[in-house]
Amino acid sequence: MSTLALTTAREVFDLLREDLAAVERELGRDAISSVSTITEIAQYLREGGGKRIRPTLLLLAARSLGYRDAGMFRLGAVVELVHTATLVHDDIIDAADTRRGRPSANTTWGNEKCVLAGDWLYMQAFRNALEERNFKILDLLIGLTQQMVEGELLQIEKLGRFIDESEYYDLIYRKTACLFSVSMQLGACLADADPIQEDALSQYGRSVGLAFQIVDDVLDLTATEEVLGKPVASDLREGKTTLPVIHALAHGTREEQNALRQVLVDGGFTRVTPAEVQQILLRNGSVDYALAAAARFAEQARTALGVLEESEYKRALMSLPDLVVERNH
């Protein structure tokens, strides 16, 4: 990431420092259950950190429209709880051993307890959202949950299979970008935004979310295990076809295409190494192709903000797409 981007990231954090601290306090309260195992799992997940990008988007959306009340802290915690619940369930489905450089919760507490803890986190999120006494907020969260569950099921159906770009974008919208979009909508909803503003912020969240996931998928194939906090090329090993692989399958030689398909069929690197995959992607310009797509979505996000009045919060929103595209972890 460039020095300019790092400076901007620091400025965004400073702008929201008190707001994000309030969200963290909400999350701390939300992690407590009368059942000690749930509290232990929830606190372990919270201590794992994370970028808190979804609460950040919600806070910036609300603030950019002039909202100042505590509802944004509560809903900021809600979207982070929903995100955390999906991570717990994803790790179980993927049989993941690590998450952010630490043992995944299911390796410590087992799948059975973690499935139920993930369910509890979802319900805790909805319980907190209910305090706003706003049916539109609940409707957004229900639609979001359905989209994310459908995305997970569709991905399972497509494991080990070639998918095209339209299928890929549909999957990453459901699994990732939908939550970014709804986070923006929730901020707009709190601020009583007009339909044009809400739609623009929703489109912004969608575009940033798509860019975020594309970069995530690129890093999975190109970064080191130390940076990722998990094995390199985990997605391909699990049978997931991401944008760089889709491009290489469409533009590589027959030998290169067969090598990539072999990994998908084998469900691992038994006959083709990660280094060989990286060379195939490099030769075909597949990583550059994916990053160019992420950059286009970043630009779409910035364009969507034209309906907002100028403010420090709008400027922060303008800078976030670049932070997403330029990040290295």
Could you give the angle at the alpha carbon of 244 between the alpha carbons of 104 and 96, nearest 5°?
10
7-44 pLDDT tens trace: 577 788 889 999 999 999 999 999 899 999 999 999 99
226-278 pLDDT tens trace: 777 677 888 998 899 999 999 999 999 999 999 999 998 888 899 999 999 99
Tell me, what's the pLDDT at 2? 43
144-173 pLDDT tens trace: 999 999 999 999 999 988 899 999 999 999
Domain boundaries defined on the chain: 3-326
Tell me, what's the pLDDT at 4? 43
Rounded Cα distance, 222 and 210, in Å: 18
Confidence band for 190, pLDDT divided at 50, 70 and 90:
very high
Tell me, what's the pLDDT at 133? 94
Rounded Cα distance, 216 and 226, in Å: 15
How many other CB atoms are found less than 10 A from the CB of residue 143? 13
Pick the CATH number of 3-326 from 1.10.600.10, 1.20.1580.10, 2.40.160.10, 1.10.10.10: 1.10.600.10
Number of helical (H) and strand (E) elements in the chain, helices listed first: 18, 2
CA distances 267 to 98, 157, 226, Å, are 18, 14, 22
